[in-house]
Homo-oligomer: A and B are copies of this chain.
Amino acid sequence: MKNKYKEEVLVLFGEKLKELRLKRKLSLRALEKECDIDNSYISKIERGKANIGFHTIVELAGAFKVHPKELFNFEHEWKDEAFM
Query: Residue A54 contacts which of B6, B58, B67 (CB distance < 8 angstroms)?
Result: B6
Q: How far is the CA of A72 from the CA of B67 in the complex (A)?
A: 9
The A interface, classified by DSSP as helix, strand, loop or mixed, is helix
Number of copies: 2
Q: Which B residues are in CB contact (< 8 Å) with A83?
A: 62
Interface check A32, CB cutoff 8 A: no
Q: Which residues of B contact A51 (CB under 8 A)?
A: 53-55
A82 interface residue, CB < 8 Å from B?
yes
Interface residues of A (CB under 8 A from B): 1, 3, 5-6, 9-10, 13, 35, 51-55, 57-59, 62, 65, 67-69, 72-73, 76-78, 82-83
